Amino acid sequence: MKIVRPKTLEDNLKESIKAIRSQTKLKPKIAIILGSGLGEFAETISSSTVIDTQSIPHYPHSSVEGHKGRLIFGKIGKVKLLAFQGRVHFYETGNIETILYPIRVAHALGIKTLVVTNAAGGINKQFTPGDLMLITDHINLTFENPFIDQNKSATSHQLYDKPMQNLIKASAQEESIPIREGIYCGIKGPSYETAAEVQMIRFFGADAVGMSTVNEVSLANAFGMRVGGISCITNLSTGILDQKLSHKEVTEIANLVKGPFGQLLRAIIVKLGNKF
C-alpha cells in the first residue's frame, strides 16, 4: 500500500508559485501591499497581468470590503512591480499563516523590497483623518509569533529600513504631499478599540492603530527584504472623537485621499527602481 505524505508548507508554496508563473513571466524585485480602501492604486499599473487569488492554489482569500484579492504584475514607469491588491486579516481566519502566506509568496517570487500600506486609526491627537503617516516602527499587540515552528527570527531591530524611510520622506517633499511620522500598533480585531484601550496604546507610544501589518513586516524583514510602510489615517480612535466608528468611514476617507496617496506611491516606486 502506498503511503501518501501530507503536503508541507513548502509543497503548497511550490504549487502557488507554479500557478503564478504560468500566468506571467514578469519578475519584479519590488512589491507593494495595498490596504483597506487603497487598492485603486493598482489600476494605474501599466502592462499589467491580473491574477485573481482564487486561481492560486493554497492562497488565502479575503472577505473584507475594500480588499479585492488580486495579484497585479506590471510597471510604474519603467519599474517592474508586484501589487497585492488587498490582504487577509487575522480575524477572518484565526490562523496567522493566512496573513503570512502572501509574504512567503513574495519571497519565493524574488521580491527584495516591500512597501506596506494600511488604513489606521489615529492615536496621536495631532493627527486628522486623511493624514498619511510614515511608519517608523511598530508595536505588535496581536500576541502572535510569525516565526513559530520555524528556524527563523527577526534579523534586524530596524524593521522599517532607514534608507527607505528617507526615500519616502524625500518623495513626499518633492511631490508637496504632507506626511506624518509615527509608530503603528497592530491588534487582532475585528472590534475597534475601546477608549481605555486607546489610552493604553497611546501610553505604549503608538501614534496609530490597525489590524494588520506587524506580523507581515516582521517576516519580510526576517527574509531580508527592505521594508517601508505608510498608514492612511482614516479615523480618530475611540475616545478622541465622540462618534461611532465604522469600516464604511475607513473606506470613505481612503477614497478621498487616493489622489495624493497614489501620487506619493508612484514617486516612491520610481525612486526605488533607481535606488535599489
Q: Which residues are catalytic?
A: 36, 67, 89, 91-92, 119, 211-212, 235, 247
180 strand-pairing partners? 133
Nearest to 209 by CA among 89, 121, 137: 121
What burial letters (b/e) apply to 172-187, b meaning 16+ CB within 10 Å? beeeebebbebbbbbb
| DSSP H or E segment with residue 209 | strand 208-210
Distances (CA, A) of 58 to 13, 16, 92, 104, 161: 8, 7, 16, 12, 30
For the chain, give the number of residues. 276
Distances (CA, A) of 210 to 192, 237, 249: 9, 10, 14
72 strand-pairing partners? 50, 83
